[in-house]
Amino acid sequence: MEGLLDCVLRDVLTRIGGVDRCVSEFIRVTNTLLPERAFIRVVPELLNGGRTPSGVPVRPQLLGSDPNCLADNAARVAGMGCDGVDLNFGCPAKQVNRHGGGATLLQDPEVLYRITLAVRAAVPLHQIVSAKMRLGFDHDQQAEECALALEAGGVSEIVIHARTKADGYRPPAYWPRISDIRACVKVPLIANGEIWNVQDAVRARQDSGCHDLMIGRGLVTNPGLGLALKDFDESANPSATTSSLTPLTWQEMIPHLTYFWELVQKRISHRHQCGRLKQWLNFLRKHFAEAEVAFLNVRTFNDPQLISAWLKTVKPQDQAHSLLVETDYKSGFIFQSEQEPLVEI
């Protein structure tokens, strides 16, 4: 998730827990061997043994279309200290597809095979080569053929986003099609797409036949989702309702939000700092009603000092059970009080 799920948010989300492995934003590979600093800029975790500060492995992801160039770059980044290399065959962005990268490659399974074969040969055998794909470009009729091409090229596992490029991010995700692919390939498959809560995760597992899941936007909007899913897996009664599995409250989120802001100030350029906080709050609104109030507080701020001042006024107990949006005219901030429905002023 370029421009959102970077090293800053990876640090925060993996500290919260429930994440076994991360894949970086894609690193564009065109016609040159990138210097090490280019990989470190996107994956600074390479300076920490390829792990986040909390110890979760981060696998660099490469995007391109030239087998030899991808192989050279994969060998370089693999040598910098990571558990493996991931290949992007799923990005639906028009700009990426116009330049022959991402999901457009799903139209030619032979190219998928040549890329993975070259990369697998270039990466030491003790390191994993994985790939992410969609069900197809304009249709899903070649989904099995594409997965078989990746397997033949030597990938160790495949993440499948259960939509085509044409589907974009529109619901639903077609998880049963992953089950069809599982019947054809032997390498482990990981289901991805439209997983927002534990209930979705359970259905994705049932429909796809995959126990392992990759969660992107769902974890950004609900940072406790990984923990909730682990709690569900470890519960004595797996058939019990999933609605009560909410291990992360807004009260508990506030320290993580503050830590995120501290990292943003250290790593993000001054003019983009406010935008990064507002961007994450915008996603959090999908899961936390209190995030709506927080977003209203900061949506007009373009000065990082104002955000810092606002965060100092935020106390977990202030928003724990609050619903009505009101205004504190002395501070200029919006807060919530109890017993009334949420309204926007």
What residues act catalytically? Answer: 91
Block residue for tokens 């558990």: 83
Q: Measuring CA to CA, how many Å separate 22 from each of 11, 57, 97, 264, 306?
A: 10, 6, 24, 19, 32
Q: If 0-12 CB within 10 Å is exposed, 13-18 middle and 19+ buried, where does residue 231 land?
A: middle
The secondary structure of 89-148 as a DSSP string is: E----HHHHHTT-GGGGGG-HHHHHHHHHHHHHHS-TTSEEEEEEES-SS-STTHHHHHH
Residues 6+ apart with CB under 8 A from 246: 224, 228
* Residue 98 CA from chain centroid, whole number: 23
Structure tokens at 66: 């030239």
Structure tokens, 3 = 């421009």
CA-CA distance, 265 to 267, in Å (whole number)? 6
Distance CA 79, CA 84 (A): 10
CA dihedral 315, 319, 325, 328 (to 10 degrees): -20
DSSP-derived pairing of the beta strands 333-337 and 324-328? antiparallel
To which residue do tokens 């909007």 refer? 221
Q: Are 67 and 121 in contact (CB under 8 A)?
A: no
Q: Are 175 and 197 in contact (CB under 8 A)?
A: no
